[in-house]
Structure 1
Amino acid sequence: MSRTATRLTSVTLAVGVALALLVAAGGLAAGHSGDDWMHHHDGGMWAGLG
C-alpha cells in the first residue's frame, strides 16, 4: 500500500511540474504576459481554456 501511495504521489508531482513547465514554455513561446494566457485568442493548445 505504502509503495503504491508513494508512487502515486511521485507521479502526481511529476505531472504537476510537467504541466507548469508546459504553461510557462507555451506562454514564453507565444510572447504573452503571465496573466494573458487565460484569455488569448490565437487558437493553439490553450484554445479550449479561453
Structure 2
Amino acid sequence: MATKNEPLKLHGGQARQFRKLRDALEKELGYRPRKTRVFDQLLEHYDGPHFDG
C-alpha cells in the first residue's frame, strides 16, 4: 500500500547543513547521492528532542 509523501524545502542554515552532509556522503560513497539518500542518513542518525507523551 502506498504511503503519503512529505514535501520538504530547506532554507538558510538548514539548506547549508543539508549540502554539507550531501557533500560528505559524496566523498564517502564516490558519487553524489540522491536527496532521498541524504534524508535517510539524516533520519537514521537523528537524536533530537524526545517527548514524554
What is the TM-score of this pair, normalised by structure 1?
A: 0.39
Greater relative CO, 1 or 2 (CA 8 Å, sep 6+): 2
What is the TM-score of this pair, normalised by structure 2?
A: 0.37
**The structure with more helix, counted as a fraction of residues:** 1
